[in-house]
Amino acid sequence: MNPGLYIHVPFCLRKCPYCDFYSESDLTLKSAYLEALSREMDLVAEALQAPGEFDTVYFGGGTPSLLDPVEVEGVLNEARSRFFIAREAEVTLEVNPGTVTAEKLAGLRQAGVTRLNIGVQSLDEKTLKFLGRLHNAEQARDILSAARSCGFTNIGADLIYGVPGQGKGDVLSDVAALLSYDPEHLSCYMLTLEEGTPLYARHGKKAFSMPDDTVQGTLFETVSDALTQKGYLHYEVSNFARSQAHVSRHNTKYWEMVTTVGLGPSAHGFDLEGLFRWWNVAHLGEWMDCLKKGKRPIEGTETLGQGELMTEALYLGLRRMEGVNLAVFHRRFSVDLAKVLGACLSGFEEEGLMVVDADSIRLTRKGFAVADGVVLRLLQAL
Query: Hey, how many other C-beta atoms are within 10 angstroms of the C-beta on 331?
Result: 9
* Complex with ligand SF4: residue 12 or 356, whichever CB lies closer: 12
**Nearest residue to 340 via CA among 376, 309, 378:** 378
User: Residues 114 to 173: which contact ligand SF4 by CB under 6 A?
Assistant: 119
- Residue 270 and residue 4 in contact, taking contact as beta carbons nearer than 8 Å: no
**Nearer to ligand SF4 (CB atom), residue 99 or residue 224:** 99
Q: How far is CA 147 from CA 1, 9, 128, 135, 240, in A?
A: 29, 21, 20, 16, 19
Count the residues of the shown chain that bind ligand SF4, applying the rule CB under 6 A.
Answer: 11
Q: How far apart are CA 103 and CA 108, in angstroms?
A: 9
* Residue from the set 5, 9, 12, 171 that interacts with ligand SF4 by CB under 6 A: 12
Number of neighbours of residue 88 by Cβ within 10 angstroms: 8
Least CB distance to ligand SF4 at residue 94 (A): 8
Closer residue to ligand SF4 (CB): 23 or 251: 23
Residue 84 CB, nearest approach to ligand SF4 (Å) = 30
Candidate ranges 17-25, 293-301, 308-316, 367-375; the one touching ligand SF4 (CB under 6 A): 17-25
Binding positions for ligand SF4, 64-123, rule CB under 6 A: 96, 119
Residue closer to ligand SF4 by CB (options 17, 74) is: 17
Q: How far is the CB of 17 from ligand SF4 (least distance, A)?
A: 9
Of residues 6, 7, 23, 329, which one binds ligand SF4 by CB under 6 A?
Answer: 23
Q: Please report which residue ranges of 150-258 form alpha helices under DSSP H.
A: 168-179, 198-204, 213-229, 249-255
Contact partners, residue 279, CB within 8 Å, separation at least 6: 262, 266, 267, 268, 269, 298, 299, 300, 301
**DSSP annotation of 154:** -
Per CB under 6 A, which region of 8-16, 208-216, 260-268, 275-283 contacts ligand SF4?
A: 8-16
Q: Least separation, in Å, of the C-beta of 92 and ligand SF4? A: 15
Task: Work out how close the CB of 62 gets to ligand SF4 at its nearest, in angstroms, rounded to a whole number.
Answer: 5
Q: Which is nearer to ligand SF4, 15 or 283 (CB)?
A: 15
Of the candidate residues 2, 19, 90, 114, the single one contacting ligand SF4 (CB under 6 A): 19
We find the least distance from the C-beta atom of residue 99 to ligand SF4, in angstroms, to be 9
* Nearest residue (CB) to ligand SF4, 120 versus 147: 120
Q: Which stretch binds ligand SF4 (CB under 6 A): 15-23, 214-222, 287-295, 374-382?
A: 15-23
Site string for ligand SF4, 268-307 (x = CB under 6 A): ----------------------------------------
Asked if 62 interacts with ligand SF4 (CB under 6 A), we say yes
Distance of alpha carbon 327 from alpha carbon 315, whole angstroms: 17
> Could you tell me the smallest distance in angstroms from the CB atom of residue 15 to ligand SF4?
5
- Whole-angstrom distance, CA of residue 221 vs CA of residue 234: 11
Reference 62, options 41, 37, 82; nearest CA is: 37
Answer for the pair 7, 58: CB distance below 8 angstroms, yes or no: yes
Does residue 361 interact with ligand SF4 by CB under 6 A?
Answer: no
In the set 10, 41, 54, 63, which binds ligand SF4 (CB under 6 A)?
A: 63
Our finding on whether 21 is near ligand SF4 (CB under 6 A) is: yes
Strand ordering across the sheet containing 268-271: 233-236, 239-241, 185-190, 155-161, 115-121, 85-95, 54-61, 4-9, 260-263, 268-271, 276-280, 298-303
What are the angstrom distances between the C-alpha of 203 and each of 126, 195, 237, 317? 18, 10, 26, 33
Question: Length of the chain in residues, anyone?
Answer: 382
CB neighbours of 381 closer than 8 A, spacing ≥ 6? 340, 341, 343, 344
CB atoms within 10 A of CB 216: 18
CB 315, CB 308: distance < 8 Å: no
Question: To the nearest whole angstrom, how small is the minimum distance from the Cβ of residue 19 to ligand SF4?
Answer: 3
Output the smallest distance, CB 125 to ligand SF4, in A: 17
Closest approach, Cβ 25 to ligand SF4, in A, equals 9
CA 311 to chain centre: 20
Site residues for ligand SF4 per CB under 6 A: 12, 15-16, 19, 21, 23, 61-63, 96, 119
